[in-house]
Structure 1
Amino acid sequence: MGRLARYTTWFSGDDNIPPIFLKQRSSSLFIVSTVGIAVFTDIFLYAVIVPIVPWALTQRAGVEEDKVQHWVSILIAIYGAALVAFSPICGYLADHTSSRRSPLLLGLVALAGATAMLNVGTTIAIWVVGRLLQGASAAVVWVVGLALLVDTVGQRDIGKAMGFVSIAFTMGIMLGPLLGGIVFDHGGYNAVFAMAYGMIILDIILRVLMIEKKHVKRWEPVVPRSDSVWSSPPNTATTLMPEEKAFYGIDEEKTYGSDNAQQRNIEPMPPGTDSAVDSKSKYPPVITLLASRRLLAALWGILAIGSVMTGFDATLPLFVHENFGWGSTGAGLIFLPIVIPSFLGPLIGWVADIYGARWLSAAGFLLGAPFLILLRLIDHDDMPQKVLLCALLFFIGTAINLVMAPLMAEITYVVEAKEKERPGMFGPKGAYAQAYGLFNMAFAIGCVVGPVWAGMVRDSSGWGTMGWSLAILSGVSAIPTAIWTGGFILRAKRRET
């Protein structure tokens, strides 16, 4: 037991001895990477079974062929419904707990259970419960994980961080069907889930290793300084070396305001406010946030883009099977053109940090509309048709990425703007997790609407009608995005003049 205790202390530390590799495990790079892997794992496990669901429903659950599209859409929508139900709960709990890591680990337990149920399930009921657990896990990852990113990188660089998360998200949702189809064709049903279990193990390791920046202060008395003296860090940031500021997670712009970063002095509270408590809103943070038209515009944009993305999950594999005769491998590979533009995510996020999210996201919605309409041209089986479909999906993927990263960062921008307008209104713990809970709810509603919309329209009116109906959603969504994202456009123009 003594040896086990020494190993435990060596790994996780105690009040006097810091854990091994503390600096690396609490670094921004490691935390952003861990959240990115968490998002990728969650979305990948949601999407990896997309190309095998039609086979599993008929061969394992005994669903009739003419009801496969119906149940594919329902199972994807159930995932979204669980996201809607659990997101506000996760947001509230995350803003009222001392640790972000603990709920992330609980979410991973739920994800492992869901994966096992989908692996062994031979009835619709088990698949429904498995999808519900997947949705609950996703709520934890998205709400707590994105709030952890804000804690880690600060508000100034959140767009760039969200760009990396956008890559993880898009690659997960698109590479999932791709690899699921290929592995299923060459290794079988259980091989797909073996790949899923491997991702879960990697995710567990990273989440256990991660140490939040705010917990580093626990070992401040013994953190080595640049002069190799083991002592507490100073009470202010003014005497810290640049590399020490980075280690302790101190962001002068975030802490003191961008206008006074060079002066390194804290401005007094506005007249009439004796403390942050005096400025605290009498309404719950969720109500205050929902009263913001700027936030509602961002939530609508997330809902719309979520509907488009999951609409393809529900229809694209079946369409290429029926139109081109492709099996699971082809049904997976067809998502590749949508994946490739996701590597632009960090660049798009960086641009959003500088210029705001308004015009990038509005341009994404407008760009996507004509290419969604042109999907109606794919109506028979030959090589030019296949090339055209890939080209259209590539531009649709580009449009999706122009929307996702900026609007994900916009959630942080809204909370930051409200805090600057009225310091302390959300209390000492802030409201980032609850804001991302609303973001998650919006995307979850899209996950419900998109598959049902796309699946039912395709069943009743065909592939072409499905395309132009989603194009209308995309085009219309550009309007509130352009008007309210980044603040009311007329007010913004008055400030510029």
Structure 2
Amino acid sequence: MAAAKSLPVIFLARFVQAIADNSMWIAGLAMITDIVPSHQFGRIMGFLSVAVSVGTSAGPMVAGLLFEKCGYWAAWSSAFLLLFIDFIMRILMIERPKTELLGPLFRAADEEIDPLIPQTIQPYKQGQPDPDVKHVSNAEVSGLWFYFYLLRQRRFFVGTASYVFYAMLVTSFDTTLPLHIRESFNWGSLAAGLLFICLQLPGIILTPLSGTLKDRVGTRYPTGTGFLLIAPFFWLAGLPGASEVSWTSGSLETGKAVYVVSVTIIGCLFSLFNGSGFLEATLTVDEIESNNPGIFGSNGGYARANSLSWMSWTLGMFLGPIVSGLLTEKAGYFKLNLILDCMTND
């Protein structure tokens, strides 16, 4: 990517980079779900979302500063340094033994077998099914059947769909906010940057608290409340500059204040959605495994479930700019926000 001097090479490098990015994200989530107990996963996902937000915010700033002060290759050196540190940390990371991850379904083959031990608690060899556990045939959960089976679970399907809409909300701001404030308030890039800070900073602060709340009360009520509360503020954010409302005209200070406050509160409410798709995927797999131990094999289905959640996020990021840009051109910014309200709350 750094050495590319033509568009085809840049596109090829970006393609490889996308594969590596998705692989690292899915594998990292799978390792987290293997280690972190389910009742603490919301809090951990909160800290993970904070780390991602800080990294995506600090990365462009540091790279831009290095590029301006030191040149092109100095800016790229920061990326190479981070990759080297990641490589070393991955080598040094200690994973739990596989026998711990297998749980009660598969036990160590060399475990002592005593004929005096009652049959109900007598150990059995690795790979042999527990006679007291109800199993489902491999054909039902392997290959593409795994994804069909998972999408039939209402909890997973609703969580994945809500993650698509959340990604669309986030990317609609990225697409339309700079253009809207320029047309309505005549604000430039500095104001846009400050507004993005108002959108992201509350999430960095509140997301760990939101994750702890989800661990205590579950994900349904915090996420559902977030979608309900965010609707009026999306409506308010669409008022400044809209011809339908005079008191929030872009030339008035009232309209500017309404827009800034609305964006900030929306950033606070976004903390209720961070990581919700991956959290629902993990909890769904846990629930299925508890009812049918070993249904997804010895390694479980966490990585495959998280990959579907990541696909839903990526789908929302793909659709968000297209839908928001098209609706803004055809219907206007105010009606765009109303349509996004209807989509998310349905």
Deviation (angstroms), 1:197: 5.0
Match of 1:446 in 2: 316
- Of 15, 40, 44, which aligns to 1:161? 44
Q: What is aligned with 1:375?
A: 237
Distance 1:452 1:184, change over 3 A: farther
The residue type paired with residue 307 of structure 2 is: G
C-alpha distance in structure 2 between counterparts of 1:458 and 1:184, whole Å: 36
1:335 pairs with one of 191, 196, 208: 196
Gaps of 5+ in 2: 105-119, 123-128, 242-249
How far does residue 127 in structure 1 lie from its aligned partner after superposition? 5.4
Q: Could you report, residue by residue, the CA deviation over 1:355-412 in whole angstroms, capped at 9, with x for unpaired residues?
A: 1111011011111111111122222256554443332112212222112244432211
Q: Given residue 274 of structure 1, which amino acid in structure 2 is its aligned partner? A: P
Q: Which residue, 214, 224, 228 being the options, matches 1:352?
A: 214
**Judging changes above 3 Å, is the alpha-carbon distance between structure 1 residues 468 and 278 closer, same or farther for their aligned structure 2 residues?**
closer
1:126–1:305 CA distance, 2 compared to 1 (3 A): farther
Q: 1:214 to 1:324 in 2, by over 3 A?
A: farther
Rounded to whole Å, the distance in 2 between the matches of 1:316 and 1:181 is: 23
* Separation in 1, partners of 2:40, 2:284: 14
Aligned 8 A contact 2:64 2:75 in 1: no
Q: Distance in 1 between matches of 2:176 and 2:90?
A: 34
For residues 205 and 475 of structure 1, do their structure 2 counterparts lie closer, same or farther at Cα, with a shift above 3 Å needed? same
Against the structure 1 CA distance between its residues 413 and 278, is the aligned structure 2 distance closer, same or farther, given a 3 Å change threshold? closer
Q: Does 1:397 align with 2:254?
A: no
- 1:445 to 1:336, Cα distance in 2 relative to 1, 3 A: same
Equivalent residue letter for 1:370: P
Higher mean C-alpha deviation, range 345-354 or range 448-457: 345-354
Describe the shift of the 1:387–1:434 C-alpha distance in structure 2 as closer, same or farther (beyond 3 A). Answer: same
CA contact (8 A) 1:338 1:393 kept: yes
Deviations 1:317-372 (A, max 9, x none): 33334444555444333211121222222221122112111101101111111111
- Match of 1:435? 305
Would the aligned equivalents of 1:454 and 1:466 in 2 still touch at CA under 8 Å?
A: yes
User: Which shifted more, 313-322 or 467-476?
Assistant: 313-322
Give me the whole-angstrom Cα distance separating, in 2, the residues matched to 1:287 and 1:186: 50
Letter paired with 2:222: L
Match of 2:161 among 270, 291, 300: 300
Match of residue 3 from structure 1: none
Within 5 Å, give how 1:128-207 maps onto structure 2: 128-172=11-55, 179=61, 183=65, 190=72, 196=79, 199-207=82-90
Larger displacement relative to structure 2 (131-140 or 444-453): 131-140
Matches within 5 A, 1:38-187: 113=1, 116=2, 123=7, 128-172=11-55, 179=61, 183=65
Task: Tell me if the contact between 1:181 and 1:332 (Cα under 8 Å) persists in the aligned partners.
Answer: no
- The separation in 2 between residues aligned to 1:310 and 1:303, in whole angstroms, is 11
Return the match for 2:223 from 329, 354, 361. Answer: 361
Report deviation, 1:210: 2.4
Residue type matched to 1:460 in 2? K
Q: 2:148 aligns with which of 284, 287, 296?
A: 287
Name the amino acid aligned to 2:279.
A
- Whether the 8 Å CA contact 1:280–1:427 is kept in 2: the answer is no
CA distance in 1, matches of 2:137, 2:239: 56
**Normalising to structure 2: TM-score of the pair?**
0.76
Task: Provide the secondary structure at the position in 1 that maps to 2:271.
Answer: helix
Q: Which residue of 2 aligns with 1:419?
A: 289
CA deviations 1:15-49 (Å, max 9, x no partner) are xxxxxxxxxxxxxxxxxxxxxxxxxxxxxxxxxxx
Q: For 2:25 and 2:309, how far apart are their aligned partners in 1? A: 9
Counterpart residue identity of residue 131, structure 2? D
Give SS of 1:213's match. Answer: coil
**Normalization by structure 1: what TM-score?**
0.55
Q: 1:187 to 1:312 in 2, by over 3 A?
A: farther
Shift of 1:209: 3.3
Say if 2:133 and 2:292, in contact at 8 Å, map to a contact too.
Answer: no
How many residue pairs were aligned?
A: 313
User: In 2, are the aligned partners of 1:143 and 1:433 still within 8 Å (CA)?
Assistant: yes
Cα pair distance change 1:440/1:332, threshold 3 Å:
same
- Point out where structure 1 has 5 or more consecutive residues left out of the alignment: 1-112, 218-249, 257-266, 477-497
Q: Do the aligned partners of 2:134 and 2:292 also contact (CA within 8 Å) in 1?
A: no
**Aligned residue type for 2:213:** V
Q: Which residue of 1 aligns with 2:131?
A: 274
| Secondary structure, aligned partner of 1:402 | coil
1:144 Cα shift? 1.1
> Take 1:128 and 1:465, find their aligned partners in 2: how far apart are those partners?
35
Q: Which is helix-richer, 1 or 2? A: 1
Give the aligned residue type for 1:358.
R
RMSD: 3.6
Contact kept in structure 2, 1:345 and 1:405, CA below 8 Å: no
Q: CA deviation at 1:142?
A: 2.5
Q: Counterpart of 2:272 in 1: which secondary structure? A: helix
How far is 1:273 from its partner? 5.0
Query: Structure 1 residue 255: deviation in Å?
Result: 5.3
Mapped contact 1:144–1:433 kept (Cα < 8 A): yes
Among all aligned residue pairs of Structure 1 and Structure 2, give the percentage whose two residues are the same amino acid: 28
